[in-house]
């Protein structure tokens, strides 16, 4: 090796040594935020997918996921979807799922996003789903979250069917009746352990 090559290599080594001291290397692995899995208790790690960031359980037998809100906090847990094979969609060849969201309970076509039909459920459509709703709520902190809806009145005083609605301001479901697809003046709210019906 001639003198020029030696000096060139020496300069490179000095520069590399300086750079290596400035850079903080991390051991390979995960050191981001974790959550306890609501289904199995294992760690959930932050991942990035097609629709943004989410938490995924690291247990290979579980693989539960939890979406993030815009503020970076994990979304509150919701009831798991309930298949309603006998309840056919009104606008497409499909059946409904009873789903839960931050905006309350709703019916949605099972083949979403192919079929985008959604609507509010009638009380009569969920009245006989006590076991299914309890099972779907088994991972929620409040396992009886929707139990009170099962005792809601099915019809108002004039015989119109009640539909389950959600009040975002008070974070509670109530029922409002409909006639020919339009709201009537009858509503009922669950207060102090009983349903109170009012007409506006």
pLDDT class of 27 with cuts at 50, 70, 90: very low
| pLDDT tens digits, 112-128 | 889 999 999 999 999 99
Contact 48, 32 (CB under 8 A): no
For residue 9, what pLDDT is reported? 78
> Which letter, b or e, does each residue of 48-60 get, where b requires 16 or more Cβ atoms within 10 Å of its Cβ?
eeeeeebbbbeee
| pLDDT tens digits, 136-147 | 999 999 999 999
Strands, DSSP E only, in the chain? Answer: 34-36, 43-49, 52-57, 65-67, 82-88, 95-101, 104-109, 118-119, 162-167, 172-179, 182-191, 194-199
Please say whether the structural domain 82-199 has been given the CATH code 3.30.70.270: no
User: Strands 65-67 and 82-88: what pairing?
Assistant: unpaired
Q: Token pair for residue 47?
A: 């991942």
| pLDDT tens digits, 172-183 | 999 999 999 899
**pLDDT over 70 (residue 20):** no
Query: What distances in angstroms separate CA 49 from CA 56, 68, 81, one per listed residue?
Result: 11, 12, 22
**pLDDT over 90 (residue 1):** no
Tell me how many degrees the CA angle 67-72-78 measures, rounded to the nearest 5.
35
Whether residue 112 has a cis bond before it, omega within 30° of 0: no
Name the strands in the sheet holding 82-88, side by side, starting at the edge strand that comes first in the sequence. Answer: 82-88, 95-101, 104-109, 118-119
For residue 156, what pLDDT is reported? 96
Instruction: Calculate mean pLDDT across residues 18-32.
Output: 60
Instruction: Calculate mean pLDDT across residues 45-73.
Output: 90
Query: What distances in angstroms separate CA 99 from CA 58, 59, 82, 105, one per listed residue?
Result: 25, 25, 7, 6
**pLDDT over 60 (residue 25):** no
Percent of the chain with pLDDT over 90: 69
Structure-token match 């697809």, residue found: 181
pTM of the full predicted structure?
0.76
Domain positions in the chain are 34-67, 82-199
């Amino acid at each position: 090796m001639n003198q020029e090559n030696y000096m060139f290599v020496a300069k490179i080594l000095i520069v590399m040594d300086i750079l290596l001291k400035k850079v903080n290397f991390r051991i390979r692995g995960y050191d981001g935020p974790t959550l306890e899995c609501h289904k199995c208790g294992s760690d959930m790690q932050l991942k990035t997918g097609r629709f943004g960031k989410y938490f995924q359980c690291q247990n290979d037998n579980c693989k539960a996921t939890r979406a993030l809100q815009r503020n970076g906090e994990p979304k509150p847990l919701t009831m798991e979807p309930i298949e309603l094979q006998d309840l056919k969609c009104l606008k497409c060849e499909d059946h409904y799922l009873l789903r839960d969201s931050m905006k309350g309970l709703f019916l949605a076509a099972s083949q979403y996003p192919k079929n985008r039909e959604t609507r509010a459920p009638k009380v009569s459509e969920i009245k006989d789903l006590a076991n299914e709703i309890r099972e779907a709520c088994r991972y929620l902190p409040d396992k009886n979250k929707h139990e009170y809806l099962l005792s809601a009145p099915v019809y108002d005083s004039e015989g119109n069917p009640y539909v389950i609605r959600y009040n975002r301001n008070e974070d509670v479901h109530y029922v409002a009746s409909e006639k020919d697809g339009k709201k009537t003046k009858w509503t009922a709210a669950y207060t102090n352990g009983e349903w109170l019906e009012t007409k506006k």
